[in-house]
Amino acid sequence: MRKKILINISCYIFIIINFLPQNIKADDLFNQGKIIFVGDGNCATCHSLDDANSNGKVGPNLNEIKPDISRVLMAVKNGIGVMPAYQGQLSDEEIEAVATYVAESTN
């Protein structure tokens, strides 16, 4: 009887782990954002950010202004100053990832 119960529990755990939708973990989103920041997003060219080892001088130093996620989302989507809008160049998921990365690495 115990063996049957353990087998049933194991089957349920297997189903839950392998077949239910899984959300992106916060660490995965952060890491994806870092890749975009130093890569396709081209952010590191203009911005200083210690975590990315970037020393750009065109845009604001993100270590100093410590933007929250909503501020980063607005700037990346719409552009600000000489920074172009990246909506349409980056997907919504990529924009969310880079905003998460900047906000978490500076605050």
DSSP character string of 55-84: E-SSS--HHHH---HHHHHHHHHH-BTTBP
Q: Rg (Cα) of the chain, in Å, rounded? A: 20
The conformation of residue 54, written as its DSSP 8-state character, comes to E
The pLDDT assigned to 32 comes to 97
* Contact call for residues 53 and 47 (beta carbons, < 8 A): no
Q: Could you tell me the domains of the chain?
A: 24-106 (1.10.760.10)
Question: Taking the CB of residue 100, how many other CB atoms lie within 10 A of it?
Answer: 21
Record the pTM: 0.76
Report the SS3 class of residue 82.
Answer: coil
- Distance in angstroms (rounded) separating the CA atoms of residues 41 and 21: 28
Cα three-residue angle 77-47-80, rounded to 5 degrees: 35
The pLDDT assigned to 3 comes to 63
Query: Would you write out the chain's pLDDT as a tens digit for each of its 107 residues?
Result: 666 665 656 555 655 555 554 445 578 999 999 999 999 899 999 999 999 999 999 999 999 999 999 999 999 999 999 999 999 999 999 999 999 999 999 99
* Contact call for residues 68 and 103 (beta carbons, < 8 A): yes
